[in-house]
Homo-oligomer: A and B are copies of this chain.
Amino acid sequence: MRADRIVIADDHPVFREGLRRLIQGTASNAEVIEADTFRDMIQLAREGPVPTTFIVDLMFGDRSVETSLSALRLEFCRTSIIVLSMVDDRTVAERILSKGVDGFISKTLSPREIVAAIAAVRNGDQVLLLEPTFSALSDRDDEPAALTRRQRDVLRLLTAGKTNKEIAQALQISPFTVRIHVSALLKTLGVSSRTAAAAKATAYGLA
């Protein structure tokens, strides 16, 4: 069994240190690395073996790392990502989780609960979400990037790795038409290549 390699990123040294001690108390063989900025975390993660877990504070100063999570998820596909947050906002949590993060944990929980949640992600190899007062989830129909039905059809097949010709065949339309849809959805998604679109679709759970 490969040793766990856990990278903690938080700009509060006290909290970070406390978390490190808590983790090492339950997983003594784990290698725990601390970073006080998101950038440092990436830097440290790229050195040496791929980390098994990221534990990231959502806010650094007044800046949220939310926009960087998709890229993090893409670059470290096999690493568990756990986001810690001071806020308990449900919509924020759902938005974060939709980026492919494995856990969203409130810092307001007790240390024991936080550690238990982290351990669950690490041991169970999956996901979980916390928040004390979560009940039902929202309708999910939150703006899927304003793609038309046909564009979504195309995006789905594109994300599956199909070429324009294959998409045309699958949807029984002309390859020319497929290109129109591809161009349109690239513009909407704000990217300039189909592979980037596929990456974004995967990261955001679109398609």
Number of copies of chain A assembled together: 2
Instruction: Report yes or no: B1 in contact with A136, Cβ–Cβ below 8 A.
Output: yes
Other A-B pairs beyond A77-B205, A97-B125, A202-B202, 6, CB < 8 Å: A1-B138, A77-B202, A125-B129, A127-B128, A161-B195, A161-B199
Given contacts A125-B97, A202-B202, contact A75 B156 (CB under 8 A): yes
In-complex Cβ contact of A198 among B97, B126, B199 (8 A): B199
Instruction: Report yes or no: A160 in contact with B74, Cβ–Cβ below 8 A.
Output: yes
A contact residues, total (Cβ < 8 Å): 51
Given contacts A129-B126, A136-B1, A138-B1, contact A161 B77 (CB under 8 A): no
Given contacts A77-B202, A198-B195, A199-B198, contact A123 B136 (CB under 8 A): yes
- A14 contacts the other chain (CB 8 A): no
- A181 contacts the other chain (CB 8 A): no
- A62 contacts the other chain (CB 8 A): no
